[in-house]
Structure 1
Amino acid sequence: MNSRVATVLAAALVFGFASAAAAQVAPSDRRIALFQADGFPATEAPVVPPAVLTEALAGLAVDRYGDPTELAVRLDARDHAVLVLPYGSAFPLEAWDAIRTFLGAGGGLVVLGGAPFHQPVYRGADGVWVTGVRQPTFAHALLIGPAEAIDLGGTPAGTLAAVSVAGSGWDGPAFPLPTRTFTLTVRFATRPDTPGEDGAAGIREAVLRPLVHVTGADGLPAACPLLEIDRLHGPGAGGRWVLAPCDAALPAPLIRAMVRRAFDGAADLTARPVPACVEPGEVPRLRVTLRCPGAATVAVPDAAVTVSDEAGQAVWRGRLPLAGTPTFRTGELAVRTDRPLAPGLYQVAVELAGAAGSPAAAGTAFWVRDGKLLAAGPRLTATRDWLRRDGRVFPVIGTTYMAGDVHRKFLFEPNPAVWDRDMAAMRRAGVNFIRTGLWTGWGRLMSDPGAVDENALRALDAFVLTAARHDLAVCFTFFAFRPPLYGGDNPYLDPRALAGQEALLALVASRYRGVGWIHWDLINEPSYAPADALWTNRPMGDAFEAAAWAEWIRRRHGDAA
């Protein structure tokens, strides 16, 4: 391997993302950078014919670069809004540093096919393109790898369909069916949001939004051949990456739609109930937030909000102005209906009518507490060999689940619409048991013994109700790895820690007395070790441990010991 290639390979591991400051340029003032080199190999995706690319980008401001060195020199987030790489998994290794700097500065990206950034290609001594060792190094550096292949070629003909994902805002041309797709291993948090907790979810820096699913005969997603990643925070903020990780032959109208979508830049419209479950007669409230990192100062229309009952009938409509900065706007409104809402699940649709960019719609839901549904839960018991449900053997087909959008933050950022969608899909797949709980954030749920976050508890109410709606039993796990200290020193022996933990258990468990849908698990994967040496199973060396050891010796061997 020549020295240039070795240097670039080292850069994949050493160089960090650049500042996103360069992204603060109006996208309309910037152009598209297209890498298009004679003879450059496409891997794990069909070659995109030059005529197709020409048609796809006709009328758009495009700078074409046929040489990796020229691309490395010219690519700049101040001049270019989007980089287009049309060679599947393959990318020009010699331009890697510049590509990573561009993306770190908030540049957009379109990759046509394959597993993005898995196949480095460089020029040999004779000028011929050489494919290097296929590897996840570069994709991992961008937090989107490695990629795992999903083979769809053996599926019976006529059983698969490519469908747009509801709520994604994707209205592009029909997507051709691939025979192979790639599932990306993504990581969108690089710093913990709760230092000292091993299960901390981290500050979310991006959101992945599937745009097209390949579904099977049962209607369940089997693969995702088109997705976008919006960089919302930290390195790369403002950039939108539109990826087609598959081997489908992409037509010009589809490529054009992907490029225009990337040109919109990152945006995230969310709606959440405040709280997620209200008592009958209580007025529900909703919060809507629009994040557009790197956006110029533009007017944003009011959010149109529609609330529908379980029969799909609209029961309330309203409008909500969003206030704030160009990059972060938010608003909250009360759902005041003419008559009290009946117990049940209410879906909420939010739309920014006429807004530029995408997505311009979001959904959430809230519950009006349904006491009858909670009381109708099964009786779960355990014998030596079996769990039993209402006395009958209950073979568990289960999964751990918090939320499909915010994962471990589900009690603090609830979206019952996501839970309802995911639980419905799980039930269709045969799941009958969900394990959930707190792997982090105990201080958010209860800051001091008795000082509990009522909104988080109401989110758990909504979670249990949603599971009950789909006939799913719930196991709630209170702690993970090391229980919270609550001002103590030893999470297992310090009376201060134990008192806090007992208070938390009592506050949550007493709320569901007589509710058969939920039962309890104390701790996930307990580790007895110092906080900075988790999983080592080593003494903590504190006074509480010494006293407990001495007491154990006394009980076992008597005072003479």
Structure 2
Amino acid sequence: MRTLLFYDEQFPYAGERPTADALERMKEWTEVASAETLAGRLSEGGWDTLIHLHGPYFPKAAWEAIESHLKDGGGLVHAGGVPFRRPVRELNGSWHAEREQLAYHQRMDIHDALAVDVSRVRKLKASAEFPILQGREELFGIEPTWGLTLHPTKASDIPAEMGACGPMDAVISPLLIGEDGDQRERCAPVVMLEQHKGDYAGGRWILINQQLQAIFWESEGAAALRELAEYAGRGVTELWLKPNYAAYEPGESPQVTIQLQALSRTSVPAQAWQFEVRLIKDGSGKPVWSGQARSEAGALQRDLQQLRLSIPVRLEPGLYRITCEAVSESGERRNLTQAVWGVDRSLLQAGDRLECGRDYFRRGGRTVPIVGMTYMTSDVARKFLHLPNVQRWDADMAEMKRAGINLIRTGIWTGYRMIMFADGHAAEDVMRAIDAFILTAKRHELEVTFTFFSFAPEAWEGVNPYLDPRSVEAQKRFVASIVTRHQGTTNVHWDLINEPSLFDPKRIFEGPVTIGDRFERKAWTEWLWQRHGSDIALLQERWNMTPGELPSFEAAMAPSPDDKLFNSVLQPKKWGPWLDFTLFTMDMHNRWASELIGTIRRCDPNQLVTVGQDEGICSQRPSPSFYGPVVDYTTVHSWWQNDHLAWDGIFTKTPDKPNLVQETGIMHVQRPDGIAKRTEEELRNMLERKYAYAFSTGGAGAVQWIWNINYFMDNANESNIGALRADGTQKPEADVSYDFGRFMNEAAGIFDDNRQLEEIAVVFPYSNDFSSRKLAYEATTRAMRTLTFGMNVHPRGIGEYQLADLKRHPAKVIIVPSAHNFDDAAFEELLELARAGSTVLWSGPLRTDAYWGTAQERLQSELGETFHANVLREETLQLAGDRYAVSFGERKIGTLAVDRPAGQPDGELAPITVPLGSGRFIWCPLPVELNERWEPIQALYSEAIQAAAVSPELEWLKGGGLPGIYGRKLAFERGSLYIFISEYGVTTDIEVRDPDSGAAYRFPLERERTVMFTADSQGQVQTVYRPEEVRIVRHQQV
């Protein structure tokens, strides 16, 4: 084997340099190249392994030769930090190290590297699967290291599907793992990248991502490098251990396949592999069967080989583990593991089901605050149902259970036709993989939310995935193929679709997009006829069309998704259809969902069903306010709205059903130079805040996306998102699951469905958001930020078209923020609520209906005549004897309006209070939430809150006036949950008093972090989040 070592005494180096003795010993088995000779020697070719000791530093002039060596399948052993991060060139007779750059290692599909905090690591252990470093652990100290972000997949295996993965060109495995005192795997300072396909196919790279210290060179470091170099130089032999099914009916016998292929392109000769396979019934410790197999691999046998072993054992219900010890002639050793299930229906049907209350989930009469995790698998990502590894699932789920996670969200994001290629005929191997997954979760007492479709349902030759009966009936057969296998299973429920968009599957996330097929046109015509009372003249009026343009309901065309530039006046626009078409898609989504839910209910009427939606509330896609009635609970995926995380939860919580933050995580962002903008600790802090906001808004819990990073997509964003790094070790983000898992388990007894509801409700003006001039997002986010951060007041949300729910759950104050256009029937409901005792606060134009037409009849007798006008750049609001500047900057004087009372064409405007029944209607003519200043919004809200005698949740004694400090109390019958979140740049002392118990609490709130605790009804502290780091001081105040 030919090995080339790059080492140069004059060249920049990271860590302790090799001793002279170690260098001499290495020269016995390798050639040493200097910075000047490296490029030339490598370019000659024929090297099996390159050893690079200089950490991030490398000769820039040698890069092409290095890359060529790797593309030829050559091996690599790299030590000292992030590989190939800092090119070095000769400048004025000395070596000049350039700045950190990603370009070079990105050519190797290493997208980036993030520094890893090793302060909690207590010991290093060698990999059990690849035990090359067993006995060598002491050579490596606990040193700062790096986690690699990989992006080896540069294509999609199903380009038409957004959720598709791609070729698994490279696989990373930890060779040395750092564990903390709780046996959590915190880092992997030595990793191996095996190149299966692509430009570097056959290459094996061993990366020591920390600096080598004196102990390495003074002991057996040189010998260890030789072993690693020989190991890398052998190249990749791809090995798989695969059962033909992941689950078997009792009495069936399994079969396993050992799959191998020599991919190495180095000079290593052919070698034989010996395999020792064992089947072990879980809990017994003894094999119930063992077998052997042998095969050649290498230069003389490069084709894929499959060794099939039939196991003459009739499986009983339960878990069976499969081990395979693989040993090559050269001494290379690998331990492969698998597992299969003997289907245990008594296990699946044991225990209580998850049920829904008003706000929270329950099981067996006990509230279950959800601390969840999205999980597919940590080895093949979204291909987990096609390449199942039950042993890996079992190990991962055991760790999740230890963390306190109690729900897994999983499902099918891609490859629907691979599961049911012919309509009605599902692939049995995938069905059994699903069975095994649910069994494994049940073994660890984990609830499973299984998702059937993602972004758009598969159409199965239909023309419209939501409306074509061919498509819908095929989808029902697809769903039934899975659900019928789990009648009576108590730890599974169903998610119809992840983040749906209607209708065109080629244009997801764009809001309502017509396909224009015959099924859509028929449904659209019928829907319009029903909504407009069969009155075509009324539709013509609302849509601003002549009888010639719109002679019948059949002639009504859906709006074009490419005709949305309503600020343009180059051509006349028809604005009216957008509201109707968006409402139509909401109803059609519900019709579609009801069809699939009917299939599920006929299989098992007691299993829950939901729809997983992202922040579609502001993108005119199916919203919980509309789909809530047809599902058992609602969801939100809090990804992008990091400045509005309370808003996210408030407007997706419906009055009578739980709302789960079903996906949350942090999208990857980069500095202008491409390096990750956020550290791993900052990512943890953001995730922690997202979990805290989820519970603070009355949500049922939070589910992180995802347990393991998925680097098998042509998507660098996915390569960064997850609780575990690509190497399988836990990022600081994983702490959130452990910390919330422990706290929520301890605090669960305080939760109940008699949580005191917020006394203030804020209306989301959907007519505006579904129109061609969307102001609702800005208005509602400003309202929420003002209330929750500026005033320490916490509202609930309600939709414009769902106001009837407030009759069952009255609010003292109902705020309609700068709606502009508003539905007539909804306005009448507001008046009824006011007459019943609520204070309705309305800001902005009052007399504009849902279609932007005039509605002069609104409160005509109470307010008299008004006239529609434009806002000016600077307006003034008179309130309680004070004057507040109201400023409409940027382009808002061209988009916003005001209804002025007749006789007031000029001058200051003031709120007008209209008594109605036992309540009142307060109208502020100015759309204050859309102005630049906080003061008028806060003053207006304070007046309404005082008028309605709203009770404060907490009295703030210290810290309540600071920007970015969020804090509230959720009150229950047996006590309260207190949640405080910092978006403030300074650690600060907080002190609050609970007016119900009289207890006061004092604690420091660290910048970016969260403090939570519970107290009983007398104010005694019961549980504390992160008790090792947070101390709550309680004292009594009169």
The alignment's TM-score, normalised by the length of structure 2, stands at: 0.48
CA–CA distance in 2 between the matches of 1:411 and 1:283?
20
Q: Which moved more, 1:308-317 or 1:320-329?
A: 320-329
CA–CA distance in 1 between the matches of 2:24 and 2:507?
58
The question of 1:273 aligning with 2:243 is answered: yes
| Corresponding residue number in structure 2 for 1:381 | 355
The question of 1:349 aligning with 2:323 is answered: yes
Q: 1:556 aligns with which of 506, 531, 534?
A: 531
Deviation digits for residues 190-229 of structure 1, max 9, x if unmatched? 2212231111111111111111110011111000111101
Contact kept, 8 Å, 1:178 with 1:248, in 2: the verdict is no
The question of 1:293 aligning with 2:263 is answered: yes
The question of 1:440 aligning with 2:407 is answered: no
Secondary structure of the structure 1 residue equivalent to 2:176: strand
The question of 1:36 aligning with 2:7 is answered: yes
Q: 2:127 aligns with which of 155, 165, 171?
A: 165
The question of 1:305 aligning with 2:272 is answered: no
Q: 2:104 aligns with which of 119, 135, 138?
A: 138
Secondary structure of the structure 1 residue equivalent to 2:65: helix
Q: 1:60 aligns with which of 29, 36, 40?
A: 29
CA–CA distance in 2 between the matches of 1:365 and 1:449?
31
Structure 2 CA distance for partners of 1:129 and 1:527, relative to 1, 3 Å: farther
| Corresponding residue number in structure 1 for 2:311 | 335
The question of 1:75 aligning with 2:75 is answered: no
Structure 2 CA distance for partners of 1:550 and 1:142, relative to 1, 3 Å: farther
Residue type at the aligned position of 1:298: A
The question of 1:51 aligning with 2:20 is answered: yes
CA–CA distance in 2 between the matches of 1:534 and 1:356?
53
Secondary structure of the structure 2 residue equivalent to 1:235: coil
Deviation at 1:40, TM superposition (A): 1.6
Alignment of 1:115-194 (within 5 A): 115-124=82-91, 126-153=92-119, 155=120, 160-172=122-134, 173-174=136-137, 175-194=139-158
CA–CA distance in 2 between the matches of 1:520 and 1:97?
52
| Corresponding residue number in structure 1 for 2:473 | 499
| Corresponding residue number in structure 2 for 1:12 | none
Residue type at the aligned position of 2:164: A
Alignment of 1:411-490 (within 5 A): 411-490=385-464
Q: Which moved more, 1:169-178 or 1:159-168?
A: 169-178
Structure 2 CA distance for partners of 1:384 and 1:110, relative to 1, 3 Å: same
Residue type at the aligned position of 2:131: G
Q: 2:51 aligns with which of 76, 81, 84?
A: 84
Q: Name stretches of at least 5 consecutive residues in structure 1 with no aligned partner.
A: 1-27
Secondary structure of the structure 2 residue equivalent to 1:84: strand
Secondary structure of the structure 2 residue equivalent to 1:360: strand
Contact kept, 8 Å, 1:91 with 1:119, in 2: the verdict is yes
Structure 2 CA distance for partners of 1:137 and 1:353, relative to 1, 3 Å: closer
Contact kept, 8 Å, 1:104 with 1:236, in 2: the verdict is yes
Q: CA RMSD in A?
A: 2.2
Residue type at the aligned position of 2:368: F
CA–CA distance in 1 between the matches of 2:530 and 2:348?
46
CA–CA distance in 2 between the matches of 1:323 and 1:74?
33
Structure 2 CA distance for partners of 1:73 and 1:59, relative to 1, 3 Å: closer
Structure 2 CA distance for partners of 1:135 and 1:282, relative to 1, 3 Å: same
Structure 2 CA distance for partners of 1:474 and 1:301, relative to 1, 3 Å: same
Secondary structure of the structure 1 residue equivalent to 2:291: strand
The question of 1:317 aligning with 2:290 is answered: yes
Contact kept, 8 Å, 1:268 with 1:359, in 2: the verdict is no
Deviation at 1:277, TM superposition (A): 0.7
CA–CA distance in 2 between the matches of 1:347 and 1:55?
47
Deviation at 1:259, TM superposition (A): 1.7
| Corresponding residue number in structure 1 for 2:337 | 363
Structure 2 CA distance for partners of 1:556 and 1:109, relative to 1, 3 Å: same
Deviation digits for residues 252-310 of structure 1, max 9, x if unmatched? 23333322221121122210111111111101111111132136662424422111121
Deviation at 1:446, TM superposition (A): 0.9
CA–CA distance in 2 between the matches of 1:418 and 1:55?
44
CA–CA distance in 2 between the matches of 1:47 and 1:449?
64
Deviation digits for residues 131-178 of structure 1, max 9, x if unmatched? 21213222222211211111223x3xxx61100122223244124232
Contact kept, 8 Å, 2:45 with 2:69, in 1: the verdict is no
Q: 2:516 aligns with which of 523, 536, 542?
A: 542
Deviation at 1:499, TM superposition (A): 2.0
CA–CA distance in 1 between the matches of 2:520 and 2:475?
18
Contact kept, 8 Å, 1:77 with 1:107, in 2: the verdict is no
| Corresponding residue number in structure 2 for 1:511 | 485
Aligned residues: 521
The question of 1:244 aligning with 2:208 is answered: yes
Residue type at the aligned position of 2:286: Q
Structure 2 CA distance for partners of 1:469 and 1:376, relative to 1, 3 Å: same
CA–CA distance in 2 between the matches of 1:444 and 1:332?
24
Q: 1:101 aligns with which of 68, 76, 80?
A: 68
The question of 1:264 aligning with 2:234 is answered: yes
The alignment's TM-score, normalised by the length of structure 1, stands at: 0.87
Residue type at the aligned position of 1:160: R
Contact kept, 8 Å, 1:182 with 1:225, in 2: the verdict is yes
Structure 2 CA distance for partners of 1:549 and 1:132, relative to 1, 3 Å: farther
Structure 2 CA distance for partners of 1:106 and 1:375, relative to 1, 3 Å: same
Deviation digits for residues 434-469 of structure 1, max 9, x if unmatched? 111111111111112211111111111111111111
Structure 2 CA distance for partners of 1:275 and 1:72, relative to 1, 3 Å: same
CA–CA distance in 1 between the matches of 2:528 and 2:99?
59
Deviation at 1:486, TM superposition (A): 1.1
Deviation at 1:533, TM superposition (A): 4.0
Q: Which moved more, 1:423-432 or 1:31-40?
A: 31-40
CA–CA distance in 2 between the matches of 1:288 and 1:89?
39
Structure 2 CA distance for partners of 1:80 and 1:510, relative to 1, 3 Å: same
Deviation at 1:336, TM superposition (A): 0.3
Deviation digits for residues 333-388 of structure 1, max 9, x if unmatched? 11103xx3332111111123443364433111111111221111431011221121
Structure 2 CA distance for partners of 1:56 and 1:539, relative to 1, 3 Å: farther
Deviation digits for residues 384-439 of structure 1, max 9, x if unmatched? 21121222111112111111111111111011111111111222222221111111
CA–CA distance in 2 between the matches of 1:477 and 1:72?
52
Deviation at 1:105, TM superposition (A): 2.1
| Corresponding residue number in structure 2 for 1:5 | none
Structure 2 CA distance for partners of 1:33 and 1:548, relative to 1, 3 Å: farther
CA–CA distance in 2 between the matches of 1:78 and 1:522?
55
Alignment of 1:516-535 (within 5 A): 516-528=490-502, 530-535=504-509
| Corresponding residue number in structure 1 for 2:601 | none
Structure 2 CA distance for partners of 1:115 and 1:479, relative to 1, 3 Å: same
Q: Name stretches of at least 5 consecutive residues in structure 2 with no aligned partner.
A: 540-1038
Residue type at the aligned position of 2:108: L
Deviation at 1:111, TM superposition (A): 1.1
CA–CA distance in 1 between the matches of 2:27 and 2:280?
43
Contact kept, 8 Å, 1:306 with 1:317, in 2: the verdict is yes
